[in-house]
Structure 1
Amino acid sequence: MRNPLLTILILLLLGCSKEIEEPEPFEPLPIGSYCNPKDICCYDLSDKAGAFDLYSSWEFAGFQDITTDHGTLDNLTCFARTAVFALGGEDYDNVFKVTLQFSKEDSKLSECPNLAAFNLRTFSNKITGCYSSSKAGNLSIVAPEEGIEFIPNNNASNTFPVLEFEADFLKAIESVESYEIKSNKLYLTSKSISEKLLFIAIED
């Protein structure tokens, strides 16, 4: 009886004497590099490889507070986006995007002679206008009334967050005075507000 117990004891000691491997160190993801797929107001703000210029396709992420280290985005844009999402059936695969596209072609609007065209789609409006830019980063945008077409986005277009967003966003766009591109992000500076308008390049 003693021999089997001794054998078991020796096996246990040998098993415990094996060096315990240390777990791999936990490295948290950089701030802004990951978003919960259920959070429609979160954007990956990490830099992405690629060639981006003014003529890339852009999605509006929000008005970014540049006075803080984290560069937080405004609440109004999120509230408007949430209203459109909630009243549009909460489809996570087709979350509505506010998009901006600058063109190299001349605008056909009567108020935009000899100026290039741009197209902007907001929650409630399709806006075609014109702009002028320089390599130094100067940018001037014109959104004449004839180029603004109201396209209601379900019942959300009549909600307070969307109505306020549309007014604030159009005012900011029409008073843009400069732009800057950092990696996959386009920043527009407007003389009417202290925040920057942040756009993220749309991946193909």
Structure 2
Amino acid sequence: MQTAVIYAHPNPNSFNGAILNQVIKALEDGKHSYDVIDLYKDRFDPVLLFDEKKRRSDMKHDPETAEYRRIVKNADHLIFIYPLWWGGMPAIMKGFIDRVFAAGEAYTYQGKLPKGLLKARTASVYYTADAPSWYLRFWRRDADWVTVKDVMLKFCGVRRVRRLLFAGVKDSTEEKRTQWLDRVYRSIAPADRGISE
């Protein structure tokens, strides 16, 4: 099974960086094939530009995103790692989805209904927040999660999307962070069993 890991955090020493390292360790220990896309390290340009000459419908041919599109297109499973900022994913991650999940490759329309084209049928989203989980779920009504799961991934054909939300990171103890990282590791099963639920 081929896994694509899409990571967005500018500080490799952050807790998100620790999650990435744990994901990579679990993928390697489980004998998974994988690619890592580190958006900040790659200095990915998230700005989507189009006009009469360069149409949005032509994005599937954009040479600037060709390698990213290849990685996403070939993946059986997608993993996203990012912090929750201002109630959503970082702009660089949103820009990645805007530019890489292109019409004709990630999705199309049959009449007026969307049809997902991604090979990946499963995804895992590991994300962090300084706010407590009750605030995100009840006050914010999980708006960020609904957008990622239903509006973005299911729209592109990913049917099973699982999340691991690590909330209250700012006030968490070292012991709690260790427990969270153990949970990340356990969420990735050996390659012959796929990604765990």
User: Which one scores higher on RCO, CA 8 angstroms, separation ≥ 6?
Assistant: 2
Structure with the larger helix share: 2
Larger radius of gyration: 1
After TM superposition, the score normalised by the length of structure 1 is: 0.28
